[in-house]
Amino acid sequence: MLKVAIIGLGNRGRIYAYQLSKNKDARIVALCEKNKSVLESKRVAFGLPQSAAYSSDKEFFAAGKLADAIIIATQDRDHFGHAMQALEAGYHILLEKPVSPVYEECETLYHLAKKKDLQVVVCHVLRYAPFYNAIKKVLDSGAIGEIVGINQTENIGYWHYSHSYVRGNWRKESETSPSILAKCCHDLDIIYYFTGKKCVSLNSNGSRKLFLPQNAPEGSTAYCLDGCAHRADCPFDVRKIYYGVTRYTIPKMIVNKTLVTGKPHASIKELKEALKTSPYGRCVYRSDNDVMENQVVNMKLEDGVTATLTMTAFSKDCFRRIHIYGTQGEIFGNDKDGKFRVSVFGGPTKTVKVGRLTALLGHLGGDRMIIRDFVDFLEKGIKNPRLSLLETTLESHKTAFLAEESRKSGKTVVKEETNN
């Protein structure tokens, strides 16, 4: 039985805790979360004694090694400090992405894990999702020959972007990560995972066009609920995003009630009240966001393979589209439909159906599978090749850092080889 501790019981930590509680080979033995009411609610839910629940990370790490492994699901800029302490204490780690917004910290963690002979698996959950698994199977079968290029598009969705990247936790680079790392490390990882080719050079452009103070319409207010004159016509009005159904929208961010209110089981009334003063209640034109809304990365990979990645806030839905070009055929699909097409040149076109239901599960089913793979790896020694270990992650994270270098300098950047 794998004993697991979790630090950070926000959206991600709670999902992993739930998945662990369903896994018969693992047991949650300790929790650390600074929000005391959330901590207490989860301590009770998982049947743990008071002594296993820590509201301070200092006290948690001072208690020594409490489990075989730890899940680190705190915010981006806390990962490094928490992971260093966890490795020093002797934990194997399931680490939320990004490893760190500072590349040198990613490398430091890698070297310490290697020295301590501990495993660090990074939560690149797409790898574990049935949609991407099915594509990988087709690629491995050789059906489309050798990969020549990939075009990947991350459509964040206007409502999701406004929640996370304008009002929320990933809006400001100095407090979190650039959006190409925060949102698209998954896409860069998938490109590396599918091609097996490292990026050798790239250029990148990005822009901020909409969520800027100069676009605030006359009559708009600092908070949507302050009596904004644009309630009816603004698609970002908090009522549409968080709780009120309209003819054209359903409030997709209603699932984030805990995040907005800070309460474990908030009611709609509490949500509405919180939105009067919470950062999530702000006018999207009057926030302090500075991350890119739109960015394109144009990559040259090893062996003449090419890849492009488009990240955009400006889509109706939140989904990814992938087009893989091979020497003998192509694969084309999007993950929200739960199916993709495989066309073999001079041969048939087949549609591979993964099922729309998986599209509704957390990260298309990837959240469940990553926990299963992580537990199987540590408890049974089963090393599924899709496990995204820290070593591989350094490669795809590096591409995101280079994309930022290129975007800021306006130049093509060439990747230097390192000896990790």
Ligand X SMILES: NC(=O)c1ccc[n+]([C@@H]2O[C@H](COP(=O)([O-])OP(=O)(O)OC[C@H]3O[C@@H](n4cnc5c(N)ncnc54)[C@H](O)[C@@H]3O)[C@@H](O)[C@H]2O)c1
| Residue ranges that bind ligand X, judged by CB under 6 A | 7-13, 32-35, 38, 57, 73-76, 78, 96-97, 123, 125, 169, 182, 259, 363
User: How long, in residues, is the chain?
Assistant: 420
- With contact defined as beta carbons under 8 Å apart, do 123 and 97 qualify? yes
Nearest distance in Å: CB 169, ligand X: 6
Q: If phi over 0 gives left and psi between -120 and 50 gives alpha, with beta otherwise, what is residue 19?
A: alpha
Nearest distance in Å: CB 145, ligand X: 31
Residue nearest to ligand X (CB): 10
Cβ-in-10-Å burial (0-12, 13-18, 19+) of 144 comes to buried
Nearest distance in Å: CB 82, ligand X: 7
User: Is the bond preceding residue 98 a cis peptide, omega within 30 degrees?
Assistant: yes
Query: Quick one: 97 or 397, whose CB is closer to ligand X?
Result: 97
Nearest distance in Å: CB 176, ligand X: 7
Distance between CA 193 and CA 385 in Å, rounded? 10
Distance between CA 361 and CA 347 in Å, rounded? 34
Query: Quick one: 170 or 285, whose CB is closer to ligand X?
Result: 170
Query: Quick one: 37 or 267, whose CB is closer to ligand X?
Result: 37
Nearest distance in Å: CB 160, ligand X: 11
- With contact defined as beta carbons under 8 Å apart, do 335 and 364 qualify? yes
Query: Quick one: 11 or 298, whose CB is closer to ligand X?
Result: 11
Query: Quick one: 35 or 201, whose CB is closer to ligand X?
Result: 35
- With contact defined as beta carbons under 8 Å apart, do 335 and 352 qualify? no
C-alpha distance from residue 356 to each of 145, 177, 334, 365 (Å): 28, 31, 11, 11
Residue with tokens 């009411």: 37
Query: Quick one: 285 or 377, whose CB is closer to ligand X?
Result: 377
Nearest distance in Å: CB 15, ligand X: 8
